[in-house]
Amino acid sequence: MSKVLVGFDFSTGSANAVDLAIDIANRFQQDLRLVYVKEKGQDEGPIREEIERRNAGVAHLLKGIRMEYVIREGKVSRELCEQAKEDNAFLIVVGTHGMSGFEKNWIGRNTYRTIAESPAPVLTIRENFNFHKSLDCIVVPIDSSADTRQKVPAAANFAKVFGSELHILGLYTSDNKTIKGIVDSYVNQVDNYLTKADVKHVCKCVSVPKNLTVTTLEYADEVNADMIVIMTEQESSLTSFLLGNYAQQMLTMSSRPVLSIRPEEVNSFAR
């Protein structure tokens, strides 16, 4: 059995990540492992005592799964990814204000490094996220990049398990008819895929006046989304390039959980 990993450091953000990870692990029937990355020379005794105390407090929430923990030493992103490889992790869950240190900008870079290097999808959760609300509405942006549809099976998997409705958002980053045609084709393919998979969904295409991230977040606000699913690499229009990488922007700007999927060398979703 593979595992759901949670980056943990006793912060409120990482505690929230544990709560949501328990719900996810229960639903997918995957064991859970907390990963604490300590500083070199730091005493493990107090860390173990506190983790075990906290784990005992949530043990009653586990439904047929186990929750374990491991303490590693080194750089947070590298150690999380190494543990994910060892555990054949199904998912990594991190609080964006957990595993953080004190500098906000460093938080973003550290989180992005974890996502960029992870062998598994990474779900990031804001410290103030209301994790008691179910994932009822999930936004899946679709652009004209070749990899954009690879996130659809993962989003569909979540939707089935949580009973969510997927909102497929086609993003026209140009008025060029060819670009729009590609997006329309991709959205139609996704529509057919989800219909055959019996996943609740709606599809909508919109123009991107300024920036992919802003347009996606405005739509997420409009439908009161509970999660956004992205690829770690999206297409770059000139405006979005000037503002920075799409995934980095989304992680920085989104108040909602973001599930990040790395592109695979071979597209597993039919073109």
- pLDDT tens digits, 26-70: 999 999 999 999 988 889 999 999 999 999 999 999 999 999 999
- Record the pTM: 0.87
Fold classification of 3-125 (topology level): Rossmann fold (3.40.50)
Q: At what angle do helices 246-253 and 104-117 cross, to 10 degrees?
A: 130
Q: How far apart are CA 51 and CA 72, in angstroms?
A: 13
Instruction: Cite the beta strand spans of 173-257 per DSSP E.
Output: 201-207, 227-231
**CA dist., res. 154 & res. 267, Å (int):** 13
pLDDT per residue over 79-138, tens digit each? Answer: 999 999 999 999 999 987 644 443 443 345 667 788 888 899 999 988 776 666 678 999
Q: In the chain, what are the domain boundaries? A: 3-125, 137-257
CATH code of the region 137-257: 3.40.50.620
Q: Which residues of 49-67 are buried (b: 16+ CB within 10 A; e: fewer)?
A: eebeebbeeeeeeeeebeb
Instruction: Identify the band that residue 5 occupies on the pLDDT scale cut at 50, 70 and 90.
Output: very high
> Band of the pLDDT at 143, cuts 50, 70, 90?
very high
